[in-house]
Amino acid sequence: MNAREFVEKEFLSRFFQEKRKFTGVELEFPLLSLEGGSVSEEVVRGLIAHLFKNGFTTDGTDIHGNSVFLINADGDSLSFDNSYNNFEFAMAKDENLFNTAIRFYKLYQLVQNFLLPNNHTLCGMGTNPHQQKAETSPVDFPIYCTLRDYLSDFSGGYFHRYTDFPAWLSSVQTHLDVTAVSLPRALTLFASMDFVRGLLFSNSLPFSGDTGHENTLCFRDYLWEHSGFGYLADNTGPVCGEFRILDDITDMICKKSMFLSYRDEQYKMITPTELDTYFETEGIPSDIDGYLSFKNVEITRRGTLEIRSDCAQPVGAAFAPPAFNLGIFHGLAEAEQLMQDFFAHLPAEIADSPSRNKILRRMVINGELLPIKEESVKTLLLKLVTLAIHKLEERNLGEERLLAPLFNRAQTLSCPAKVTKERLAKGESMKQIIADYANPEYVI
């Protein structure tokens, strides 16, 4: 089959649909036992029963017929993502992000109302603070089990030893409805802002005793890129380059790897092969259901631009990343100019590098100073936050209220990971920090 035409049909055709006005949000949070050990199986089953009693129905089961995906009348889906240590709220898309946030906080409280009396909690962190004691076996769902098998083959040397890492990483993913006309510019912009989101939203610290990463603020990046997924051609990490037309996006997607096929309702690991080669030779259309890619910014088959590199936030600020991303999208031209002006003042060897986005993102997440005056970085962040607020205010839907934490973060060049490190250095307990980051009234 013609691979390029196939990719254009599967990935780009939906961007030509009318009424591109929705925003979708997926929010993951660590699920913890407050006793510090593994999540109780009894609590997991009790939580599912609790949700059934409150209007949810089964939307997917594991291989044993146990409910692991649940959905309500609004279309909001709750599930255990990869393992029972990670709980996800996949919110139904909406034209009003503030409405989505209202629904989320009601559902969050519903879940916590069951968990807290049972000595468990959700927590707003990007890495599970109980990882070293948690049972990390995957949920018995075909794709999760297949991915664990795949990752288990990569450990040592370039690859880290945490082959179970999807079991205890949590992020917030924003899905933007973008028109086909705007897609190349939007992808270029959000890829260039990867380091900006790292400055504002990093919240995944490495674990005590993990040497060599003491300054890391977003351990998630390292875990993704130095796993078996990093072995693939171009399926993880920052997106680099400029996309001028849709053909540039097709070129990028064609160079991503297929490492799973999906046939006869089963996933099967295959030799990693670039899409353009795979679908010109052995591929059949249904195989695309086995396609997975984990870049920091993605073009999805749902017809959305997905920003997926933002860490889960303290619950009180859970919607700060989606609101920021939405506001920037509605200020596309202004944000482009702000970024161009900033890059013009960077050293030429970075500003002109094809790997600029990767270089800047890695500096930020590794806790390094950017090669420019600190005041210039603060100015950029404040201008971007202000732009996002103004663009959301223009929508007159109340969405700008979700950005409340970001002015302080921009002014102080802080992020939740830095706050956590400072509190631990002062002698505060992780138990108290977990409680604060689980509290929807606590905002940093």
Domain ranges of the chain: 3-23+140-256+293-425
* Inter-residue contact 312 to 203 (CB < 8 Å): yes
Segment 285-312 shows an average pLDDT of 96
Q: Tens digit of pLDDT for each residue in 113-141?
A: 999 999 999 999 999 999 888 888 999 99
What does the block give as tokens for 430?
Answer: 């992780």
- Across 124-138, 374-388, 393-407, 411-425, least confident range: 124-138
Is residue 352 predicted with pLDDT exceeding 90?
Answer: yes
DSSP count for the chain of H helices, then E strands: 17, 13
Of the pLDDT bands very low, low, confident and very high (cuts 50, 70, 90), residue 403 is: very high
Question: Up-side HSE of residue 192: CA atoms within 13 Å toward CB?
Answer: 25
User: Which of 84, 358, 125 has its CA nearest to residue 240?
Assistant: 358
37-58 pLDDT, tens digit per residue, is: 889 999 999 999 999 999 999 9
Q: pTM for the full model? A: 0.97
CATH number for the domain running over 3-23+140-256+293-425: 3.30.590.20
Spatial contact of 253 and 231, defined as CB atoms under 8 Å apart: no
Confidence class of residue 186 from pLDDT cuts 50, 70 and 90?
Answer: very high
Query: In whole numbers, what is the pLDDT of the chain averaged over residues?
Result: 95
Kindly tell me if the per-residue pLDDT of 36 is higher than 90: no
Residue 305 and residue 25: Cα distance in Å, rounded?
12
- Averaged over 135-157, what is the pLDDT? 93
- How far is the C-alpha of 318 from the C-alpha of 390, rounded, in Å? 20
- Averaged pLDDT for residues 266-295: 92
Reduce the DSSP state of residue 158 to 3 states and report it. Answer: coil
Q: Which of 23-27, 162-166, 265-269, 285-289 has the highest mean pLDDT?
A: 23-27
Average pLDDT over residues 94-113: 98
**Other Cβ atoms closer than 10 A to 284:** 11
- Report the share of the chain in percent with pLDDT over 70: 100
pLDDT at residue 254, rounded to an integer:
96
pLDDT band at 179 (very low <50, low <70, confident <90, very high): very high
pLDDT digits over 200-230, tens only?
A: 999 999 977 777 898 999 999 999 999 999 9
Q: Which of 191, 18, 219 is nearest to 128 (CA)?
A: 219
Query: In degrees rounded to 5, what are phi and psi of residue 250?
Result: -60, -45
- Confidence band for 20, pLDDT divided at 50, 70 and 90: confident
Structure tokens at 412: 């102080």
Query: E strands within 105-245?
Result: 120-122, 171-176, 236-237
Q: Is 99 exposed, middle or buried (0-12, 13-18, 19+ CB in 10 A)?
A: middle
Cβ(338)–Cβ(384) under 8 Å?
yes
